[in-house]
Amino acid sequence: MRRSVFQRGVVHAAFRGGSIERFLNACSDANLVLWRIERTADGAVNAYLAEEDFERAQKIAVLCMCESEILSQRGGKKDARILRRRAGLLTAAAVFALLLTASSLFIWDIEVVGNRSISSCEILRTLADCGVAEGCFWPATDVEDIRSRILLREDGLAWMTLNVRGSRATAVVLERREKPEIYAESRPADLVAACGGEITEMSVKNGRALVTIGQVVAAGDTLVSGRMESPAGQSRLVRAEGSVTADTWRSGRIFLCPEAQEKTRRGGVHLILGIKCGKARLNLAPKGRKDLDECDRISKEYKLGIKGVFAFPLALVVEEYRPYEKGGDFLPDVSAAEGRIYDALAVQIDGEIVNADFSWENGCVLFSAHCRENIATTRETKDP
Amino acid sequence: MRRKKIDLDAAAEKLELPGEALGALLVTAIGKSRVLVENHKGIEQYSEEYIRLSSQSGALSVYGSRLRIHILGKSRLALEGRIRSMEWEE
């Protein structure tokens, strides 16, 4: 195998004497290769030559009545000596490089992107069930197979892929969109009441109104008919369109977990540090589980690596334990619950809430709301 | 017995061979800064301004400034620097 100039070693030497030309010719005849030969102001010649040839060049210089002097030297035996002195460092670097190469074949960090309604934890759990978890050997994973299995398990996902780069895996998902209601505009339909109420306003764009303002209707009553009568006594079916606003009254009860107990903080925060190497975990400050009962645990993991590029199988785990005491029965925040119910109702109805009453009874919030909303909903007419 | 000097150019012409195959000096100039000389018989004189090389058919003198031998091998030499002129001597 041909060795590089650096491996062979290079000597930069100066040769002085009366017959430098004779020395150069003798070197040339002896098959010694010299390069970057320069004549200096003091009459010497500086040249580079291979370390293994320098000894022969020295002998030739003596025969030609020249003196030789090493100006600098690099590579070859000199550097090998230096490297030998640092054998431990080199071994450590080699072992580190080996570990780095080996660890890059395993996944140590998984990121989920593109999800909105499905939580990352849920997708990570599904991935783990399909064999993609921290510490898995990624060359053995079949992305197509994993994709098929995950899409079968997660109904909410329309598409996904797994990109593995170094020891990081990125699961890119696309959530399924709800298919919009598709109807043919030419199909005849009636407008019926979605819920009972007293009609306050009507706006009929197509069809024949069967109710009037001030009339009280029940859920399911036909408000606007799609059957149009002609003066000649013939009838034709159309698609009824319009809006019917009515005063409605909604009531209900929301159960608010009566068995919960209120937590009160006690004492300071306990920190437990740990190092996670692969799947194994080493606690730096072990603490008995007994002491950590009745504590809120907040766990954070700081992974070693370059964010978005590479992750090592090493992570610093910081666990915060916040002790608490269980107090008496939990007193729910009624006003907050009322606010949440109000907001939920406002989203649910196609109109506005005129007023709402709330009361608290046996762990339940009772509510009754007076709403003004569009109660008309389309019901397609069956073909005659 | 005195050896008769062979005219390499004439011999090469008669034998229909390139001159360098019979040991004639082959000089390749690359621009004004580099010259490759093959089949030389040795360096007769070398300084920063002048280098004289011997060959079978005479001597070659190269004049210039900051002349440097880029590489020196067996019967081959690459010269670099600011080359002003080259001269053949019989």
Interchain pair B69, A37: CB under 8 A: yes
Residues 6+ apart with CB under 8 A from A285: A271, A272, A273
Residue A2 pLDDT more than 60?
A: no
Q: What residues contact A378, with CB distance under 8 A and at least 6 apart?
A: A183, A189, A190, A191, A192, A239, A240
Rounded Cα distance, A67 and A44, in Å: 9
CATH topology of domain A109-175: Ubiquitin-like (UB roll) (3.10.20)
Q: What pLDDT band is residue B5 in, cutting at 50, 70 and 90?
A: low
Q: Do B42 and A27 make contact, defined as CB atoms within 8 angstroms?
A: no
Q: List, as ranges, residues 111-140 from A with C-beta within 8 Å of B.
A: none
Task: Calculate how close chain A gets to B15, using CA atoms only, in Å.
Answer: 29
State residue A101's pLDDT score. Answer: 83
**What is the architecture of the domain spanning A7-80?**
2-Layer Sandwich (3.30)
Q: What is the pLDDT of residues A332-355, one digit of tens each?
A: 677 777 888 888 888 888 899 999
Check pLDDT > 70 for residue A330: no
Structure confidence at residue A215 as a pLDDT band (50, 70, 90): very high
What's the pLDDT at A1? 44
Q: Spell out the residues 6+ positions from residue A233 whose beta carbon is closer than 8 angstroms to its own.
A: none
Extents of the domains making up chain A: 7-80, 109-175, 189-246+376-380, 253-259+331-373, 265-322
Indicate which of A28, A36, A40, A45 best probes the interface with B, i.e. most B CBs within 10 Å of its own CB: A28
What's the CA gap between B79 and A35, in Å, rounded? 10
Beta-sheet pairing, A168-175 with A109-113: parallel
Sort out which chain A residues have CB atoms less than 8 A from B77's CB and list them. Answer: 28
Residues B12-28 have pLDDT tens digits of 777 777 767 667 888 99
C-alpha to C-alpha distance for A318 and A301, rounded to whole angstroms: 6
Answer whether B71 sits within 8 Å of A34, measured CB to CB. yes
State the average pLDDT over residues A121-141.
87
Query: Which segments of chain B does DSSP mark as H helices, in order?
Result: 8-15
Calculate mean pLDDT across residues A204-217: 91
> Is A24 an interface residue toward B (CB < 8 Å)?
yes
Give the separation between CA B36 and CA B73, rounded to whole angstroms: 11
What do you get for the CA distance between the two ends of chain B, in Å?
Answer: 22
Q: Does B7 touch chain A (CB under 8 A)?
A: no
A51-63 and A20-29 helices cross at what angle (nearest 10)? 130
Nearest CA in chain A to B45: A21
Q: What amino acid is encoded at A205 in this protein?
A: K
CB contacts of A38 in chain B (<8 Å) are 68
B49 to chain A, any CB pair closer than 8 A? The answer is: no
pTM score: 0.42
| A&B contacts, CB < 8 Å | 49
A78 CA to chain B: closest CA distance, Å?
A: 24
ipTM: 0.82
E-strand stretches of A80-232: 109-113, 157-165, 168-175, 189-193, 197-206, 208-209, 216-217, 222-225, 227-229
Check CB contact of B43 with chain A, cutoff 8 Å: yes
Is a pLDDT exceeding 80 seen at residue A288?
no
Confidence of residue A260 (pLDDT cuts 50, 70, 90): low
CA atoms of A110 and A130, how far apart (whole Å):
14
Q: In this structure, are residues A2 and A49 in contact, taking their beta carbons and an 8 Å threshold?
A: no
Separation between Cα atoms, residue A204 and residue A212, nearest integer Å: 11
B83 pLDDT above the threshold of 70: yes
Q: What percent of chain A has pLDDT above 70?
A: 92
Which residues of chain A lie closer than 8 angstroms to B50, CB-CB?
none
Q: Which domains does chain B have, with CATH numbers?
A: 24-89 (2.60.40.2000)
Cα–Cα distance for residue pair A47/A58, rounded to 1 Å: 13
> If 0-12 CB within 10 Å is exposed, 13-18 middle and 19+ buried, where does residue A155 land?
exposed
Of A24, A31, A37, the CB nearest to B68: A37
SS3 A336: helix
What are the DSSP E strand ranges found in A230-342?
235-237, 241-255, 261-265, 270-277, 280-283, 295-306, 310-329
Could you confirm whether domain A189-246+376-380 is CATH 2.40.50? yes
Cβ distance A37 to B44 less than 8 Å, yes or no, reads no
